[in-house]
Structure 1
Amino acid sequence: MADALLVEATHPCLPGHFPGRPVVPGVVILDRVVAAIEALHGPLGALRLPQVKFVQPLLPEQTAAIRLEPIAGQGPRWRFRVERDGTLLASGEIAAASPASA
């Protein structure tokens, strides 16, 4: 499964990260990964990120793909990859303590 990720050049995080040469902050990428998981599974409870690696920058207006893979037998947990044109930008794991109560 893949979701598209695009951060517009007008996003409020960009002027400070970095002035004159904006790069999408890792926290924005992770927020979009969590949103992709929640779109499939509903709101998540407390989260852990046991492993996250950023290997290439994502620039404003570049489209990337979020790929999710459930990790069986470990509770609500997913591996993720963020890729642009076949190039890995970020990867890791996200684990939820339990689904959030409604």
Structure 2
Amino acid sequence: MSDTNNRRISRFMIGDSHPSLAGHFPGRPLVAGVIVLEEVQNALSTFWPGRVLAAFPQVKFVSPLLPGEWAELELVRLDTDQFDFRVTREGALIASGKVRA
């Protein structure tokens, strides 16, 4: 984890045994988008304690995240309750969007 003023960065990996992978998709599992967003929520509450997720007003998924792959999550605080996020894998964009908390 790193912390630079209003910008925070962390890494995460969803392992092969995560329960959501069994049905998403059999034979070729992908990390579900909701699991990626859960990581955004977890990072938000870790970096800014007391903040409660209110909404994801904008989210765009660009490429899949596979089980066992490391992803980097960047959160940028824009103002009191607005944040931007980007999730990348080795520099390639996986997802981006806005968070209200």
The alignment's TM-score, normalised by the length of structure 2, stands at 0.88
Q: CA RMSD in A?
A: 1.1
Contact 2:73 2:85 (8 Å CA) reproduced: yes
What is the identity, as a one-letter code, of the residue corresponding to 2:47? L
Q: Which residue is 2:61 aligned to?
A: 54
Secondary structure (helix, strand or coil) at the match of 1:15 reads helix
Aligned-pair identity in percent equals 40
Following superposition, the deviation at residue 43 of structure 1 comes to 3.7
Report the structure, 1 or 2, having the larger strand content: 2
Following superposition, the deviation at residue 40 of structure 1 comes to 1.2
- State whether structure 2 residue 40 is matched by structure 1 residue 37: no
Write out aligned runs for 1:1-102 (5 A): 1-72=8-79, 75-96=80-101
Give CA deviations for 1:49-72 in whole Å, capped at 9, x if unaligned. 110000000000000100011112
What is the identity, as a one-letter code, of the residue corresponding to 1:82? V
Change (3 A) 1:43 1:22: farther
Following superposition, the deviation at residue 45 of structure 1 comes to 3.1
Secondary structure (helix, strand or coil) at the match of 2:34 reads helix
Corresponding residue pairs, total: 94
- Counterparts of 2:97 and 2:30, CA distance in 1: 20
Structure 1 residues not aligned, in runs of 5+: 97-102
Report the structure, 1 or 2, having the larger helix content: 2
The alignment's TM-score, normalised by the length of structure 1, stands at 0.87
